[in-house]
Amino acid sequence: MAYPSQSLPPVRSSHDVRILFVSAVFLGIQAPPRVSHRCRVRRRRERCMRMSPDLGPVTRKAESAVCDVAIIGAGVAGLSAAQRLVDEGFSVRVFEKSRGLGGRSATRRFRGFGFDHGAQYFTVQSSRFHSVIQPLIEIGDVRRWDPRIVTIRADRSRAPAPESDRYVGVPGMSTLGNSLAVDLTVQRDTRIASLQLERADDWTLVAEDGRKLGRYSGVVVSCPAPQAAWLLGPVVPELAADCSSVSMQPCWAVMAAFDDPLPVEFDAAFFDDDRLAWAARDSSKPGRPPMPDCWTLHAAPEWSARHLDDDDSGVAAALLDRFFDLSGLSMRDASTALAHRWRYARPDQDNPLPRRIDDSTRIVVAGDWTNGPRIEAAFLSGIEAAGDLIGLLGAPSR
Ligand SMILES: Cc1cc2nc3c(=O)[nH]c(=O)nc-3n(C[C@H](O)[C@H](O)[C@H](O)COP(=O)(O)OP(=O)(O)OC[C@H]3O[C@@H](n4cnc5c(N)ncnc54)[C@H](O)[C@@H]3O)c2cc1C
């Protein structure tokens, strides 16, 4: 499941460079000349790569922390909100239930190679997102992907796919989350189970094992809509009701590797079909390690919903079967076939959520479901949520 759209080309003209410069200043990214900025991002990334894997589970320090803002969820939205708040001088702690960062912009590693089993690529339309992506392009964390791409109909006929400038993380889509998390304090493997309003109007976050995780003046909730509604229900019922109004569609993803390259003349395909929606050759993406012919398939939303509780092997067989059929290939065995169930893959609406913030409690929600079902929209939702919260909190307090 990938989303075609118009996008900006990479920075080329001096006018573009000026936009980049202005946007970087606005975002709080210090904007010295371009080369030093690139070096700064590279240094920050190297520091992050050294630090991130070992931040580990909840520490005593986290339990007693007093911070301006807590962010629940280290997907693209939560991380962009955190970056903006930190750039404006606020103290911020991010909590993520998984081991990895980036949420649905994810890479499943397997025997030394990887599948982008969530978001396939992203597009860049706004100057704000552009100002963050361009430095990542310059240091090689993001590269342009130009697949041979087609649309395949249920009768196997083919049509051109929509034109788009497509970008991917290198060596996988999860790099995006790792890059956005540079210099942030992220507590991984920590699922937030509830919020409690305690002393002096501060929020306390409680982990699922009952531990209290510090006190915060404001909270950004950036998990998918149903999970946000569940967390907020007991404390901010009106905002929780707004979150409940957004439903999210599931998506089954199948990852398959073949020892011999499949004899197809495309690297990615949209399928106009009620079972299969998308297929992409991971090995055609730039900057991947040497790997066999690896493919990620995404099921159509309604099919995924109907088969949500099926077992992995049945789903893998059903999607591979359809893929071979619609591609005009004879069946062949995959050396690896894995399936992943995205329970909350995509919001079923493109419209922004009318209300994102509860002023009296200083809780704001962010995520693609508040702004549009794409990585860039998730990023912008985090920036806007941080702006809303800054408007309420004023200056950093501690
Ligand atoms: C199969 C698939 C294909 C897609 N294809 C594309 C594409 O090609 N192009 C594109 O632009 N977009 C695509 N998308 C959409 C894109 O991935 C999302 O729009 C974007 O990643 C959403 O970011 P987010 O931060 O809003 O949410 P998420 O990425 O879902 O981040 C939310 C985070 O919150 C964490 N969390 C949840 N509950 C808790 C809790 N209680 N405590 C702590 N942490 C919690 C989660 O673990 C997660 O890391 C695709 C998505 C899927 C699933």
Q: What is the dihedral of CA 342, 95, 190, 66, to 10 degrees?
A: -160
For residue 367, pLDDT over 90 is answered with yes
Please name which of 45, 57, 366 lies closest in space to residue 187, comparing C-alpha atoms. Answer: 57
Q: Hey, what are 180's tokens?
A: 């956005």
Measured in Å, residue 301 CA sits from the centre of ligand 1 at 16
Q: What is the pLDDT of residue 351?
A: 72
Compute the 3-state secondary structure of the chain and give helix, strand, coil in percent, each to the nearest 5: 35, 25, 40
Measured in Å, residue 259 CA sits from the centre of ligand 1 at 31
Higher pLDDT, 10 or 89: 89
Q: Whose CA is nearest to atom 20 of ligand 1?
A: 375
Summarize the confidence of residues 264-279 as an average pLDDT: 97
Q: What's this model's pTM, rounded to 2 decimal places? A: 0.88
Q: What is the dihedral of CA 352, 84, 241, 249, to 10 degrees?
A: 60
Q: What is the pLDDT of residues 194-219, one digit of tens each?
A: 999 887 679 999 999 999 999 999 99
Determine the Cα–Cα distance for residues 223 and 272; give it in Å rounded to an integer: 30
115 lines ligand 1 (CB under 6 A): no
Work out the pLDDT band at 395, boundaries 50, 70, 90: confident
Q: Are the C-beta atoms of 157 and 100 separated by less than 8 Å? A: no
Summarize the confidence of residues 85-96 as an average pLDDT: 97
Q: What is the pLDDT of residue 348?
A: 87
**Ligand 1 atom showing the smallest separation from residue 120 Cα:** 8
Q: Are the C-beta atoms of 293 and 250 separated by less than 8 Å? A: no
Tell me if the bond preceding 171 is cis, omega within 30° of 0.
yes
Measured in Å, residue 89 CA sits from the centre of ligand 1 at 26
- How far does the chain reach from its first CA to its final CA, in angstroms? 44
Work out the pLDDT band at 1, boundaries 50, 70, 90: low
Q: What is the pLDDT of residues 130-169, one digit of tens each?
A: 999 999 999 999 999 999 999 999 999 999 998 899 999 9
95 lines ligand 1 (CB under 6 A): yes
Q: Are the C-beta atoms of 334 and 257 separated by less than 8 Å? A: yes
Q: What is the pLDDT of residues 43-90, one digit of tens each?
A: 544 444 433 333 344 444 555 567 899 999 999 999 999 999 999 999
For residue 225, pLDDT over 50 is answered with yes
Mention every residue, 6+ apart, whose C-beta is less than 8 A from residue 210: 193
For residue 129, pLDDT over 70 is answered with yes
Q: What is the pLDDT of residue 151?
A: 98
Q: What is the pLDDT of residue 165?
A: 97
For residue 26, pLDDT over 80 is answered with no
CATH of domain 14-393: 3.50.50.60
Work out the pLDDT band at 352, boundaries 50, 70, 90: confident
- Measured on CA atoms in the order 134, 140, 142, 147, is the torsion positive or negative? positive
Give 31-39's long-range contacts (Cβ < 8 A, gap of 24+): 37/135, 38/135, 38/138, 38/139
Question: What secondary structure letter does DSSP report for 108?
Answer: E
